[in-house]
Amino acid sequence: MGHDAPYLTPKAIAKRLKAKGLGKQWLYCQMCRKQCRDQNGFKCHCESEGHIRNMELFAEKGDQLIEEYSQRFEDKFMEYMRRCYRSTSVPPNVVYNQITRERNHVRMNGTRWATLSEFVEHLGQTGKCKLEETEKGLHLRFLEDPDHPETQFKEGLKRKRASGEAADIERHEREIQLQRERCLMEVGAKGEKKENSQGLEDEEDEEKQDSVEQEKDGKDGGEEEKAGPTGDVKVAFSFSKKKSSNLPPLPRPPAAATFGGSIGSSSSQKAPPFCWLSEGLVVKVMAKKLKSGAYYKKKGVVKSVASEKVTGEIEMLEGHGEVIRVHQSELETVIPQIGRSVRVVNGLHAGCDAKLVSCEEDKFSVTVEISNGPHRGSIVGGLPYEDVCKLSSPS
């Protein structure tokens, strides 16, 4: 068995197990980082040449070494507090026992604090932990350090999240303002069209009224010539003429019958809804109640549009390609990457295909180059996000 026999004996195994575990604190030399198993071993270590050299070094700059050990012990203690007990209070002994599990940890007798109580008081005075008196004794609660890199990183994430939410709110308000202005423009255009049709109707009514009065005057003149010189007939005729002037006005013909329905409409008739859906568009579903929100904020391709032009069948891009029927009020346009194909769905160039040239995120608008139609090749800028939608690539 040779050299392996002493290594595998029970005495050698027990010796290695004892050396691997933790020993008593007062038998540990912090300067030499050596743990002794008994008092005799510690005495022999103190008489060794290496220990004497280290003690001579300690005599030269002892305060500096003690301050270094104290800082290392405090940093280790605060690291455990930050990592394990960030939001709860804990007894100091629990954290200290976790530190002492490491074999080469900085011992308390190598620091400027003689006991754990003095160290806890130091943490309370420096504001790194809050001391709480409970029924179970003194507890520590971790306090965030504003100068710590982790705290600064988290604060940066909070500010970034807040700025993102503010940007979303501002964008939502801009969209509402654009929709309000668009509605006001549509109402103004309908009012002008109604006034024009009303003016045309009034002019035609006046012309018809004049022609009727001229016909009546012609008939009255003929009756006067036939009546002769007798005054009674003239008086009777004049009375009848006076009565004819008080006739009720003719009823006004409806605008749809007069102008074939092309100008003006009745007040009870509602304007048709604005339709922007068309086949081939890539849209985003915003219906939260559809299938318990399974399709919320997911994209799909418009495969067909119903006859009323406000409802479309959407083939979802994610999943198994389900086809759902959604109203256009629960859909949003999708802005692709620069250089991709889009379609203008509102405005002067509505229905024209184009290529996305640039995107102004601060103004929530895009610039496109028209690809077909009479304005082919022209550059159109300042189009809002909701006026442009991505086109699906041909399969």
Look at residues 36, 106, 103, 38 and name the one whose alpha carbon lies nearest to residue 66: 106
**Does residue 141 sit in the same domain as residue 162?**
no
User: Residue 395's pLDDT is what?
Assistant: 58
Note whether residue 15 is domain-resident: no
| Average pLDDT of the segment spanning 353-380 | 90
Note whether residue 247 is domain-resident: no
State pLDDT tens for residues 228-287: 444 443 433 344 444 444 445 544 443 333 333 333 333 344 455 678 888 889 999 998
Cβ-contact 282, 340 below 8 angstroms: no
pLDDT at 84 over 60: yes
Note whether residue 95 is domain-resident: yes
**Does residue 60 sit in the same domain as residue 90?**
yes
Q: Which segments within 168-305 are labelled E, that is strand?
A: 281-285, 298-305
**Does residue 74 sit in the same domain as residue 124?**
yes
CA 390 to chain centre: 20
> For residues 381 and 229, what is the distance between their CA atoms, to the nearest angstrom?
84
pLDDT at 23 over 80: no
* Domain CATH code at residue 342: 2.30.30.30
* Domain CATH code at residue 65: 1.10.10.2030
Torsion angle of C-alpha atoms 239, 244, 245, 249, degrees rounded to 10: 160
User: Residue 376's pLDDT is what?
Assistant: 87
**Does residue 302 sit in the same domain as residue 379?**
yes
Confidence of residue 358 (pLDDT cuts 50, 70, 90): very high
**Does residue 378 sit in the same domain as residue 351?**
yes
Torsion angle of C-alpha atoms 378, 383, 386, 387, degrees rounded to 10: -30
**Does residue 135 sit in the same domain as residue 161?**
no
User: Residue 229's pLDDT is what?
Assistant: 46
- Predicted model pTM: 0.35
User: Residue 218's pLDDT is what?
Assistant: 61
Low-confidence winner among 23-32, 168-177, 205-214, 304-313 (lowest mean pLDDT): 205-214
**Does residue 33 sit in the same domain as residue 106?**
yes
Note whether residue 308 is domain-resident: yes
Q: What tokens does 240 get?
A: 């009848």
User: Residue 240's pLDDT is what?
Assistant: 41
User: Residue 354's pLDDT is what?
Assistant: 93
State pLDDT tens for residues 120-165: 999 888 888 888 888 888 899 888 776 667 767 777 788 888 888 8
Look at residues 392, 385, 298 and name the one whose alpha carbon lies nearest to residue 341: 392
pLDDT at 82 over 90: no
Cβ-contact 333, 386 below 8 angstroms: yes
Out of 165, 187, 209, a domain closes at 187
Note whether residue 182 is domain-resident: yes
Note whether residue 199 is domain-resident: no
> For residues 355 and 371, what is the distance between their CA atoms, to the nearest angstrom?
7
Confidence of residue 301 (pLDDT cuts 50, 70, 90): very high
Q: Which residues contact 373 (CB under 8 A, 6 or more apart)?
A: 349, 351, 352
Note whether residue 275 is domain-resident: no
State pLDDT tens for residues 181-231: 888 888 888 777 676 666 666 667 777 676 766 666 665 555 444 444 444
Higher pLDDT pick, 219 / 364: 364
**Does residue 338 sit in the same domain as residue 360?**
yes
User: Residue 394's pLDDT is what?
Assistant: 73
**Does residue 131 sit in the same domain as residue 112?**
yes
Segments forming the whole domain that contains residue 52:
21-149
pLDDT at 298 over 80: yes
Quote the number of domains for the chain: 3
Note whether residue 327 is domain-resident: yes
| Average pLDDT of the segment spanning 61-86 | 88
- Judged by DSSP in three states, 202 sits in helix
**Does residue 65 sit in the same domain as residue 159?**
no
Out of 137, 172, 187, a domain closes at 187
Burial of 205 (0-12, 13-18, 19+ CB in 10 A): middle
State pLDDT tens for residues 302-346: 988 887 778 888 898 887 788 888 888 889 999 999 999 999 998
**Does residue 91 sit in the same domain as residue 114?**
yes
User: Residue 4's pLDDT is what?
Assistant: 52
pLDDT at 49 over 70: yes
**Does residue 100 sit in the same domain as residue 158?**
no
pLDDT at 97 over 90: no
| Average pLDDT, rounded, for the chain | 78
Out of 101, 132, 149, a domain closes at 149
